[in-house]
Structure 1
Amino acid sequence: MNKILYSLLIFIPISVAAHFLDWGSATIFITAGLGIVPLAAIMGNATEEITVVVGPNLGGLLNATFGNATELIIALVALNGGLIEVVKATITGSIISNLLLVMGFSMLLGGLRFKEQDFQPTAARMNASVMNLAVISLLVPTAVQYTSSGIEESLLQTLSIAVAIVLILVYVLTLLFSMKTHAYLYDVSVADLESDEEGEGEETHEKPNIWLWIGVLLVVTLFVALESELLVDSLEEATSALGLTALFTGVILLPIIGNAAEHATAVTVAMKNKMDLSVSVAVGSSLQIALFVAPVLVIAGLFLGQPMDLNFNPFELVAVMIAVLVANSVSSDGKSNWLEGGLLLATYTILGFAFFFHPVVEGLVG
């Protein structure tokens, strides 16, 4: 799987050439998107290598922080470019794709190889409760806007900042819960990851060069920022040329690009009957988006001169609520099979069609 991902590195120079040689916005958009995929995989590998040196506690924090670094960089570049509604669409799209697409493929392909797979139900229920809080937090500013006549934008912005601060505090509490006070609930996932690495015949890590991997992480981050700049700059013209709306691009395409490496990891470990780790990757990524990435973008908007609030497109919130409802109902018993994976994918497909045919919202592209 890594060989396939790394082969996509060829699209990085192609996207740069497409930009300078003016090969067209659609070509730049597609090649830049494909170039980001292997960079996200390398970023994940670098974080894992650093974790070996710094230990599980600090390593867990690094994994949590860099778990969605690619999506955060893409969103920051788009936010700086004034594409605020596209950024919001990317937030909701990332949550939806992780809960339905990633977990769906994992349960489907894992279930085709193993009749029934088990994972930690207590952790799943806890994550479901936190996810419900996150959805409520995203829903409240939109509800206030739609139930108030003539609410000032500054008030909505202030409310969003207050909600963002609460979400970040909750994110810190979830890290404390999962890595310190109740770490035993998540030990199975860690054991799965370790045994998975051993099962692939990899040599044990004696002592990774931490400075080398920190350097790799910094260089890859710069390349992700470069490719994100090309991706975002070409987005408006490319989506028009490809016959896509910015809403569909933000909710469906950009999250798939940013999450591709994580998607591959979750599906691969599920097919090795390590559903604990697979579910942890899918649900954990959604929680990071809702509790960390979204609030950070709201606060970052103040410093970038692009004020962003948490007033989302109502249909996006409906889609997120559907995703959370279906994912929670499927994962609550701690067991999965291929049919449940198929149901998650069917839900994602229906929502995908809905976003594809959803009329263009005025001002979506800034």
Structure 2
Amino acid sequence: MLKSFFSLGRELVSSRWSLLLIFTAAALFAHLNEGMPIGQLIGWFIVCGLGLVPLSRMIAEMVEELADRLGDRIGGLVSVALGNLVELVVSFTALASGLYHLVVVSMAGAVITNCLLVLGISTCVGARKQATIEIHPYSTGLQDQQLLASAMFLAIPTIFALNNKAELSEGANKFDSFASYSLIVSVIVLAFYLLSFLYQMGTARNLYMRAESEDVLPAAGEKKPLGSLIVMLLVVSAILVGVSENLVESLEFLVEGAHLNPLFVGIFLLPLFGCFSEALISIKAANSNRMDLSMASTVESSVQLLLFVMPLLVICGIPMGRYLHLAIPGASLFCLGATVLAVHWIIENRKLSWYEGSLLLTLYCVIGAGTFFLGS
């Protein structure tokens, strides 16, 4: 196994992407402080962002290999778990620093980037030579329902806060009534999300699992040992955590020192680096006519962020003395709602076209321009 592990490692770094590992090494050993000049902080932010690129590419290659062997559905779940690692690390780091606004807005931004930018490009790539492409009727239907439900679960606490004329706050350092309510809702939402796996893998397994002959493309070349793939995934993920922590730290100093617009940073800028892994997996899958895997890497990834990662942050913040609220600022909530409705509209007939992909990209540009010029 050790021999196959090193062989896999050499293969992963033997492409032009390996040149960017220089940025990865630099980002791992970066020493940042608040007193740095703005230009130097911007430089380190770019270095850390570029350092994520080769790591995300490695994850994409290994997940594609796993999907070939395990099937698109299970492979897609693996890609979702690993693809959201960056967002999870970013959010935990921001939560530990008391940056509640950045946690909430960046979560919404990751969903917007996944569902509009990444899925939009993937749809245009997958349907570029045909009128429409069919997608899994049950799998995508469940993803659509979960995405709509997750938006409602986040909107309702925000509405209750506004209805009680309370100051809308994304978090606090004391355990108040809103923190109690957020904790209860988080536990309920987590239970609801876990029930979806029981439904897909148990009760309705036959509906969600296509035949292997339909699901899996024949793997070209020699198959990598499964154990080596898993170990390498863990190693790359650990390095990814280190780079992500420095990325967040440089961003924190930038927001404070350069007075950047937090809404633009959280919704538009930060998710561009965090969603790179999903983008690679989704676009490559779409190019290979594997839209089920592409949908799992974008829509299902977004569902996991809202139904699993967000509630998990609320629960884990309690022993840290950081009480995250399930409340989203109005502009972010509306952009998230528009994104959810756009995704629902294009996939409700279980067919996709490149024109529908262009709709997602257009909406993404409209939101991005709004956060840059008018966000506050």
8 Å CA contact 1:269, 1:277 repeated in 2: yes
Q: How many residues align?
A: 353
Equivalent residue for 1:282? 298
Select 2:362's aligned residue among 324, 327, 346.
Answer: 346
Aligned residue number for residue 22 of structure 2: 10
The aligned runs of 1:73-88 (5 Å cut-off) are 73-88=89-104
Output the CA distance in 1 between the equivalents of 2:302 and 2:73: 21
- Mean Cα displacement is larger for which, 237-246 or 79-88? 237-246
Q: Deviations over 1:95-130 (max 9, x none)?
A: 111111111111112222333211113322222112
User: What TM-score comes out, normalization by structure 2 length?
Assistant: 0.83
Distance in 1, matches of 2:119 and 2:80, equals: 18
**Aligned position for 2:221:** 202
Cα separation, 2, equivalents of 1:65 and 1:144: 31
Give the drift of 1:275.
1.9
The aligned residue for residue 203 of structure 2 is 181
State how far apart, in whole Å, the 2-side matches of 1:54 and 1:277 are: 12
Q: Confirm whether residue 146 of structure 1 aligns to residue 162 of structure 2.
A: yes
- Provide the secondary structure at the position in 2 that maps to 1:113: coil
> 1:156 maps to which residue?
178
Work out the CA distance in 2 between the residues paired with 1:67 and 1:353: 26
The alignment's TM-score, normalised by the length of structure 1, stands at 0.85
- Contact 2:83–2:277 (Cα < 8 Å) also in 1: no
Measured in 2, the distance between the counterparts of 1:134 and 1:189 equals 30
**Which residue of structure 2 lines up, in the alignment, with residue 133 of structure 1?**
149
The residue aligned with 1:253 is 269
Contact 1:79-1:306 at 8 Å conserved across structures: yes
Partner of 2:244: 228
* Contact 1:75 1:87 survives alignment (8 Å): yes
RMSD between aligned residues: 3.1
Q: Is 1:120 aligned to residue 136 of structure 2?
A: yes
How much has 1:359 moved relative to structure 2? 3.7
1:273 aligned residue (283, 289, 294): 289
Note the C-alpha offset of 1:132.
Answer: 1.4
Q: Give the % identical residues.
A: 30
Letter of the 2:43 counterpart: T
Query: CA–CA distance in 1 between the matches of 2:236 and 2:230?
Result: 10
Aligned amino acid, residue 238 of structure 1: L
The separation in 1 between residues aligned to 2:297 and 2:206, in whole angstroms, is 17
| Alignment-mate amino acid for residue 88 of structure 2 | L
> Structure 1's 246 and 219: CA in aligned 2 closer, same or farther, altered over 3 A?
same
- Give 3-state SS (helix, strand or coil) of 1:112's partner: coil
Aligned CA distance change for structure 1 residues 256 and 186 (closer, same or farther; 3 Å): farther
Cα displacement (A) at 1:290: 0.9
Q: Which amino acid aligns with 1:202?
A: G
Cα separation, 2, equivalents of 1:241 and 1:19:
17
For the pair 1:166 / 2:192, whether they are aligned, the reply is no
| Residues in 2 aligned to 1:45 and 1:298: alpha-carbon distance in whole angstroms | 32
Q: Which amino acid aligns with 2:105?
A: A
- The AA in structure 2 aligned to 1:341 is G
Give the structure 2 partner of residue 364 of structure 1.
none
* Most deviating of 249-258 and 314-323: 249-258
For 1:51 and 1:62, the matched residues in 2 are separated by: 8
Point out the more displaced range, 23-32 or 310-319: 23-32
2:327 match: secondary structure = coil
Instruction: Report what 2:8 is aligned to.
Output: none
**Aligned partner of 2:130: which letter?**
F
Q: Which amino acid aligns with 2:190?
A: I
Distance in structure 1 (CA, Å) of the matches to 2:71 and 2:123: 31
Q: How far apart are residue 44 of structure 1 and its match?
A: 5.2
The aligned counterpart of 1:303 is 319
Does the CA-based 8 Å contact 2:124-2:355 persist in structure 1? Answer: yes
Q: Are the counterparts in 2 of residues 330 and 336 from structure 1 also a CA contact under 8 Å?
A: yes
Partner of residue 9, structure 2:
none
Task: Report if the CA contact (8 A) 2:106-2:270 is conserved.
Answer: yes
Closer/same/farther in 2, CA of residues 20 and 305 from structure 1, 3 Å limit: closer
Contact 1:15–1:27 at 8 Å: present in 2 too? no
1:189/1:277 contact within 8 Å kept: no
Q: Choose 248-257 or 329-338, whichever is displaced more.
A: 248-257
How is 1:48-67 mapped onto 2 (pairs within 5 angstroms)?
Answer: 63-67=79-83
CA contact (8 A) 1:192 1:274 kept: no
Question: Where does structure 2 lack aligned partners over 5 or more consecutive residues?
Answer: 1-11, 168-173
Once the two structures are TM-superposed, the CA of residue 186 in structure 1 deviates from its matched residue by 3.4
